[in-house]
Amino acid sequence: MKITYHGHSCVQIDNLIIDPWLTENPVANITLDEVVVDYILVTHGHNDHIGDTLELAKKYDALVISTVEIADYFENKGVRTFGLQPGGQYAFEFGSVKMTPAIHGSSYTKRDGTVIPMGIAAGFLITKEDKLIYHAGDTALFSDMALFKGVDLAFIPIGDVYTMGIDDAVEAVRLIDPKVVVPIHYNTFDLIRQDPAVFESKVEKARVKTMRPGDILN
Ligand code: NI
Ligand code: MN
């Protein structure tokens, strides 16, 4: 399993990409032309997460997996979609995806400034090749994270302002108890500047893997 971090919240697992914000992402390591995917998972409607979903989905006839509201939005644009809601799980060819809650907003802002409500925000528990991977999306800390059992790898936001900051993220890691944790959603722009070394020093049990955009997890 090849897991690549493309910066911000964008994580690629083989032919699957989560929150593909590349074109306008100031820290992305690749351009849209360099990504080949069959599945696109979108945690919520904010532009830094929907990103290039439409272009990628059209280019590869990729399946967009997201909340029912976001799935409906893309279905109306001629894209193949699969809608879930928190608590729901479905077995795809590559593995299964369970949608988790996230405490966060979910709206999409069009180029002309029109804001489209996109339901609620979510995270994903992805089971692939016997590994359980949690992508938290954008979220605050919530105590029900303790209910996620057997997580091998967790992608957790630490940027603060819009999501958990470092101290809440450390508590999230304590609740989730993953084997490995990768901090995301920080240092993309000034408002979410954080030192991942501080996060690393505060996490007690899990192995922290700080990834730069373009890094492959090993
Ligand atoms: Ni967001
Ligand atoms: Mn975000």
Question: What is the 217 CA–ligand 1 centroid distance (Å)?
Answer: 24
| Contacting residues for 167 by C-beta, under 8 A, at least 6 apart | 202
Please, are residues 156 and 164 in contact by the beta-carbon 8 Å criterion? Answer: yes
Question: What is the 46 CA–ligand 2 centroid distance (Å)?
Answer: 6
**3-state SS, residue 13:** strand
Q: What is the pLDDT of residue 70?
A: 98
Mean pLDDT, each 10-residue run in order, the chain (218 residues): 98 98 95 95 98 98 98 98 98 98 98 96 97 98 98 98 98 98 98 98 97 95
Please, are residues 74 and 53 in contact by the beta-carbon 8 Å criterion? Answer: yes
Question: What is the 58 CA–ligand 1 centroid distance (Å)?
Answer: 23
Question: What is the 138 CA–ligand 2 centroid distance (Å)?
Answer: 6
Q: What is the pLDDT of residue 218?
A: 78
Separation of alpha carbons 199 and 212, rounded Å: 15
